[in-house]
């Protein structure tokens, strides 16, 4: 089998020189890919994924990098012994291409798409201007962009993220590369767009017969796309083989953990002791951001980030809010936290409308709602000691002696499982998971009733993810907390949430308990969203459901039902009538004209 390998890595060792000495960042004894196959590398950030890609392309910065030993063979040709010139002239672009994770910075913003494509084609294929243009248009058509002539003339910023990534794919394949490195090609895209890009990539890979090395941190994504996978951990491939074999029969503890963290739960149930009393009542909340507002001039338009949202959260409940980026979930939470003033509508906490409080009452109210942010690096002030970070909420609300304050800090640290010594350290001395614990300690410092969890586990490693979720569940029990959980990770929502609200373009399109939402989703958007997310249960990209079109702008949302531009079940009425919220049995709410009073399900 090794003889058939088209791409091969043998005993590759890469070091990184830092002031503390040498560190091995990559140590791969063997990696082989057959021609026309797809190989996926799964690893968390910092495990050497990008170093691997750069080493293959000969783009690794040396120093500080240092290739100690090994061979990288492409078609029996060792890339590591090639000169810079050879790599530039014969390898990069012609034999190996790369798709980077950020399409905006890969395309040059000052040239049109056409200019960039023809330039590459002229350089690598010795075509004339005219031939290059025809070829470029051809490629744009190949990546299934409508109206190639129009796209050809556009600048990168005029395209959506998905369109840009398609252009990048076109560029990568334009010069006949046979080996493609895709470094998290869908990282910055919405899940529904991600599915369509994956489908396109798979289709092209098969029709062009390209060999692909697919790099990502998301196991389900890689498992859906690739034939073989390798688990990268600390610079080494600890386990590799065909996807199904690895998933069904993992050997390493790390792999097992990785699989467990993304696996869907079989049992969905209400997890919390929910009381009858409503803690937070969001009534017709709207938040519009003015744009084009200048000094003494009126705004030209509004971004309708949150448009008429009503939700009720009972004491002890965990409400999950799910939606793509830009659907308004973060704005909704920030408005509930009173970081923004609302445009209209009320948020009633414990019987009081938070927007009608005076300054003193408002500060009291802030004690009741706290938040844990997604990114544990920037959520803690990098210039403050941990003790000051955790003490901040307490000292804002209470006059308290410093010795006692310090004791409270120690208690809080102990509660979240961090050593007392941490008090005198700075945030950068901790790992992502530890920082998230510190952020949780700060949120709980003033005994809040409601804690908002904004993607609490999405930027930390899998080891910590489970621990953080368990910690949150324990603390919730202990302090009788109510939670709002924002996440795009359905696994996390499934594990934690009692009730779930699905948001699309500033509106809640469906609401129900997690049983209802996961087992019998009603809204076409919910269904599409769930089926477009790669999971371990899906065997091939072809099983993913894609939603056509782009998410419309929130400045000019579509009339009628906001989802009608992309809805697979669109009717004529959807373009005119605004769907009402319909409550079905068991409190399951949906706003879709398919479930009108006439056509009850």
Partner 1 sequence: MEKNKFIETLKPRIKELKFSLYLLNRNWLTKVSFYIAILLFLLAIFSQVISPFPGHIMDEANVSQKLLPPTSVNFYGTDELGRDIFSRVLYGTRVSLTTAILSVGLALLIGVPLGAIAGTLGGWIDEVIMRITDIFLSFPPLLLAIALVSILGPGLENAMIAIALSWWPWYTRLVRGQAISMKERKFVQAAEAIGTPTWKIIFKHIVPNTISPVIVQASMDMGGVILTVASLSFLGLGAQPPIPEWGLMISTSRNYFPDAWWYSIFPGLAIFITVLVFNLLGDGLREILDPKTRKN
Q: What distance in Å separates the CA atoms of residue 574 and residue 566, rounded to the nearest whole number?
A: 11
Among 2, 21, 267, 295, interactor with partner 1 by CB under 8 A: 295
* 381 part of the interface to partner 1, by CB under 8 A: yes
User: Among residues 165 and 374, whose Cβ is nearest to partner 1?
Assistant: 374
Q: In whole angstroms, how close is the CB of 371 to partner 1 at the nearest point?
A: 5
User: Which of 371, 508, 533, 567 is the binder for partner 1 (CB under 8 A)?
Assistant: 371
The strand pairing partners of 42, in sequence order, are 216, 231
Among the listed ranges 190-198, 220-228, 371-379, 576-584, the one in contact with partner 1 (CB under 8 A) is 371-379
Residue 309 CA to its chain's centroid (Å): 24
CB of 301 to partner 1, least distance (A): 19
Enumerate the β-bridge partners of residue 346. 283
Check binding of 335 to partner 1 (CB under 8 A). no
Site for partner 1, residues 52 to 71, rule: CB under 8 A = 61, 63-64
Q: Which stretch binds partner 1 (CB under 8 A): 76-84, 227-235, 425-433, 572-580?
A: 425-433
| Alpha-carbon span 503 to 303, nearest angstrom | 16
H or E stretch covering 545: none
Q: State yes or no: residue 350 binds partner 1 (CB under 8 A).
A: no
Kindly state the smallest distance separating residue 414's Cβ from partner 1, in Å.
16
Distance CA 363, CA 155 (A): 47
> Of 136-144, 299-307, 380-388, 455-463, which segment contacts partner 1 by CB under 8 A?
380-388
The reply to whether 136 sits near partner 1 by the rule CB under 8 A is no
- Rounded CA separation 457/515 (Å): 22
Q: CA-CA distance, 339 to 61, in Å (whole number)?
A: 43
Determine which residue in the list 375, 531, 557, 558 makes contact with partner 1, applying CB under 8 A.
375
Residues 2-31 that bind partner 1 (CB under 8 A): 19
- Examine residue 442 and tell whether it contacts partner 1 (CB under 8 A): yes
- The distance of closest approach from Cβ of residue 43 to partner 1 in the complex, given in angstroms and rounded to an integer, is 22
Interacting residues of 515 by C-beta distance below 8 A, sequence separation 6+: 268, 269, 270
Indicate the residue among 74 and 337 with the shorter CB distance to partner 1. Answer: 337
Token couple for 78: 């060792």
Q: In angstroms, give the least distance from the CB of 303 to partner 1.
A: 16
Which residues have a Cβ under 8 Å from the Cβ of 336 and sit 6 or more positions away? 280, 282, 285, 347, 369, 452, 484
Find the helix or strand (DSSP H, E) in which 542 lies. none
361 binds partner 1, rule: CB under 8 A: no
Candidates 438-446, 461-469, 481-489, 559-567 — which segment interacts with partner 1 by CB under 8 A? 438-446
Q: Is residue 5 a contact partner of residue 193, using CB atoms and an 8 Å limit?
A: no
Please name the residues in contact with 285: beta carbons below 8 A apart, sequence gap of 6 or more.
306, 308, 309, 310, 332, 335, 336, 342, 344, 345, 346, 347
Integer Cα distance of 396 and 360 in angstroms: 12
| Residue 566 touching partner 1 (CB under 8 A) | no
The answer to the question of residue 438 lying near partner 1 (CB under 8 A) is no
* Near partner 1 by CB under 8 A: residue from 24, 334, 343, 467: 334
424 interacts with partner 1 by CB under 8 A = yes
By CB under 8 A, which span of 216-224, 332-340, 405-413, 525-533 interacts with partner 1?
A: 332-340
User: Distance (Å, rounded) from C-alpha 401 to C-alpha 14?
Assistant: 53
The contacts found for 309-312 with CB under 8 angstroms, 24 or more apart, are 309/282, 309/284, 309/285, 309/345, 309/503, 309/506, 309/507, 309/508, 310/282, 310/283, 310/284, 310/285, 310/508, 310/581, 311/280, 311/281, 311/282, 311/501, 311/508, 311/511, 312/278, 312/280, 312/281, 312/282
* In the complex, least distance from residue 396 CB atom to partner 1, rounded to whole angstroms: 5
Residue 553 token pair: 């702008």
Distance separating alpha carbons of residues 456 and 99, to the nearest angstrom = 29
Q: How far is the CB of 277 from partner 1 (least distance, A)?
A: 23
Return the range that interacts with partner 1 (CB under 8 A); candidates 148-156, 314-322, 343-351, 379-387. Answer: 379-387
- Please say which residue, 227 or 392, places its beta carbon nearer to partner 1: 392
Cβ at position 379, least distance to partner 1 in Å: 4
Does residue 254 interact with partner 1 by CB under 8 A? no
480: number of Cβ within 10 Å:
12
What gap in Å lies between CA 481 and CA 447, rounded to an integer? 9
Instruction: Determine, following the binding rule CB under 8 A, whether residue 367 of this chain makes contact with partner 1.
Output: yes
Give yes or no for residue 373 binding partner 1 (CB under 8 A): yes
429 binds partner 1 (CB under 8 A): yes
CA–CA dist 146, 162 (Å, integer): 13
Peptide bond into 229 cis (omega under 30): no
The contacts of residue 248 (CB under 8 Å, 6+ apart) are none
Nearer to partner 1, 459 or 532 (CB): 459
Q: State whether residue 289 is helix, strand or coil.
A: strand
Encoded one letter per residue, x for contact with partner 1 by CB under 8 A and - for no contact, window 382-421 reads xxx-------xx--xx-----------------------x
Residue with smaller CB distance to partner 1, 303 or 590: 303
Q: How far is the CB of 242 from partner 1 (least distance, A)?
A: 38
Taking the least distance from each CB to partner 1, the nearer of 23 and 273 is 23
N residues, the chain:
601
Binding flag, residue 351, partner 1 (CB under 8 A): no
Q: Min. distance of Cβ 389 from partner 1 in angstroms?
A: 8
Start-end of H helices in 263-401: 329-336, 359-366, 386-397
Question: Is residue 50 within the footprint of partner 1 (CB under 8 A)?
Answer: no
477 binds partner 1 (CB under 8 A): no
DSSP code at position 276 = S
Q: Residues in contact with partner 1, total (CB under 8 A)?
A: 37
Kindly indicate which of the ranges 170-178, 262-270, 334-342, 455-463 contains the residues binding partner 1, using the contact rule CB under 8 A: 334-342
355 belongs to the binding site for partner 1 (CB under 8 A): no
Tell me which residue of 23, 24, 16 sits closest to 62, measured CA to CA: 16
Residues at the contact surface with partner 1, assessed by CB under 8 A: 19, 61, 63-64, 295, 334, 337, 339, 362-363, 366-367, 369-371, 373-375, 378-384, 392-393, 396-397, 421, 424-426, 429, 439, 442, 446
């Amino acid at each position: 089998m090794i003889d058939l390998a088209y791409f091969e890595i043998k005993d590759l060792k890469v070091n990184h020189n830092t002031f503390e000495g040498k560190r091995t960042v990559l140590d791969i004894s063997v990696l082989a890919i057959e021609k026309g196959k797809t190989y996926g590398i799964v690893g968390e950030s910092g495990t050497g994924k990008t170093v691997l890609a750069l080493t293959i392309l000969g783009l690794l910065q040396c120093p500080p990098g240092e290739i100690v030993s090994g061979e990288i063979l492409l078609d029996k040709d060792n890339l590591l012994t090639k000169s810079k010139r050879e790599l530039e002239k014969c390898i990069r672009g012609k034999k190996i291409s790369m798709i980077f994770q950020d399409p905006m910075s890969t395309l040059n913003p000052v040239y049109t798409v056409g200019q960039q494509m023809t330039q590459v084609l002229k350089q690598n294929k010795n075509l004339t201007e005219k031939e290059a243009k025809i070829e470029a248009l051809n490629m744009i058509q190949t990546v299934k962009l409508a109206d190639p002539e129009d796209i050809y003339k556009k600048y990168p910023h005029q395209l959506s993220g998905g369109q840009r990534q398609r252009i990048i794919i076109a560029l990568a394949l334009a010069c006949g590369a046979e080996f493609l490195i895709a470094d998290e090609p869908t990282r910055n895209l919405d899940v529904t767009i991600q599915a369509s890009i994956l489908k396109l990539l798979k289709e092209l890979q098969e029709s062009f017969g390209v060999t692909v090395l697919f790099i990502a941190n998301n196991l389900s994504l890689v498992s859906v796309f690739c034939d073989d996978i390798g688990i990268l951990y600390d610079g080494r491939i600890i386990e590799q083989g065909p996807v199904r074999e690895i998933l069904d029969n993992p050997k390493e503890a790390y792999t097992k953990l990785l699989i467990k963290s993304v696996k869907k739960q079989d049992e969905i149930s209400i997890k919390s002791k929910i009381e009858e009393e409503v803690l937070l009542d969001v009534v017709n909340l709207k938040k519009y951001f003015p744009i084009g507002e200048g000094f003494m001039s009126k705004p030209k338009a509004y971004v309708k980030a949150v448009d008429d949202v009503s939700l009720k959260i009972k004491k002890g409940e965990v409400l999950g809010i799910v939606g793509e980026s830009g659907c308004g979930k973060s704005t909704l939470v920030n408005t509930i936290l009173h970081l923004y003033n609302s445009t209209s509508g009320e948020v009633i906490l414990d019987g009081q409308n938070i927007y009608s409080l005076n300054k003193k009452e408002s500060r009291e109210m802030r004690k009741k709602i706290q938040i844990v942010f997604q990114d544990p690096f920037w959520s803690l002030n990098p210039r403050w000691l941990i003790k000051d970070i955790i003490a901040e909420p307490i000292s804002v609300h209470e006059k308290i002696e410093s010795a006692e304050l310090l004791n409270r800090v120690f208690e809080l640290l102990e509660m979240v499982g961090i050593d007392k010594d941490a008090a005198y350290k700075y945030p950068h001395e901790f790992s992502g998971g530890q920082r998230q614990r510190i952020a949780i300690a700060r949120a709980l410092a003033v005994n809040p009733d409601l804690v908002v969890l904004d993607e609490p586990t999405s930027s930390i490693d899998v080891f910590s993810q489970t621990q953080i979720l368990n910690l949150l569940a324990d603390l919730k029990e202990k302090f009788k907390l109510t939670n709002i959980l924002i996440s795009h990770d359905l696994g996390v929502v499934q594990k934690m949430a009692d009730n779930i609200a699905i948001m699309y373009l500033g509106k809640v399109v469906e609401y129900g308990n997690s049983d209802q939402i996961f087992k019998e989703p009603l809204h076409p958007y919910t269904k599409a969203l769930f089926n477009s997310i790669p999971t371990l249960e899906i065997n091939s990209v072809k099983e993913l459901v894609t939603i056509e079109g782009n998410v419309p702008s929130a400045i000019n949302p579509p009339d009628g039902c906001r989802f009608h531009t992309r809805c697979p079940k669109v009717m004529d009425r959807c373009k005119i009538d605004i769907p009402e919220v319909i409550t079905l049995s068991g409190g399951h709410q949906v706003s879709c004209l398919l479930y009108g009073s006439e056509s009850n399900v």
